[in-house]
């Protein structure tokens, strides 16, 4: 992180598109395994698997550490500020900001991810004054490609990001969104 980046607020609550994106709390620990302990989440994301209460506590601790460092925020996706349905992440990167998202299996098919990405992108543009928001995803992850498209992102003509995670190779495409103003 450059020395010119402002720290994230201690508390964040974003509203829009019928959603409330809010900080994770200890009260959410019991719900997190139902959201994140799923084979396709283990496959497509760097989240640990199995994702149990110990993993939930570690994730909450990591969330607070990254926020304090000013690099990343993780917010629970809700419709009413209460029960979490998934997570949206914003990380500061040289290009501006990167967004990631996960929706619990029981809550898919409601447009939650695309709406959460649009709300988080608006926050990045309006509050953090970034010049570009990116998503990095695998072309084979049809659900994430659909989210990128629905949220208004365009595939960028940049090299694939290749690596290995959890013993499997991956190649990430970079999708970008510029501010509307």
Q: At what angle do helices 112-127 and 142-150 cross, to 10 degrees?
A: 50
Positions in the chain short of pLDDT 70? 1-5, 181
Q: What's residue 3's pLDDT?
A: 42
Q: Which region, left, alpha or beta, applies to residue 15 given φ > 0 means left and ψ of -120 to 50 means alpha?
A: beta
Q: What angle do CA 40, 49, 117 make, to 5 degrees?
A: 50
Pick from 158, 62, 75, 159: nearest CA to 124: 75
Q: What angle do CA 37, 39, 45 make, to 5 degrees?
A: 80
């Amino acid at each position: 992180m450059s020395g010119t980046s402002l720290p994230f607020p201690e508390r964040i609550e974003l509203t829009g598109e019928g959603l409330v994106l809010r900080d994770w709390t200890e009260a959410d620990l019991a719900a997190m395994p139902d959201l994140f302990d799923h084979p396709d989440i283990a496959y497509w994301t760097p989240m640990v698997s199995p994702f149990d209460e110990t993993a939930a506590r570690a994730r909450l601790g990591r969330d607070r550490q990254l926020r304090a460092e000013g690099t990343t925020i993780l917010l629970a996706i809700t419709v009413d500020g209460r029960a979490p349905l998934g997570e949206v992440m914003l990380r500061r990167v040289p290009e501006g900001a990167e967004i990631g998202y996960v929706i619990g299996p029981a809550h898919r098919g409601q447009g939650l991810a695309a709406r959460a990405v649009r709300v988080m992108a608006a926050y990045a543009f309006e509050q953090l004054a970034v010049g570009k928001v990116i998503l990095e995803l695998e072309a084979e992850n049809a659900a994430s490609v659909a989210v990128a498209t629905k949220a208004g992102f365009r595939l960028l003509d940049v090299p694939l990001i290749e690596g290995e995670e959890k013993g499997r190779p991956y190649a990430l495409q970079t999708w970008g969104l510029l501010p509307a103003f």
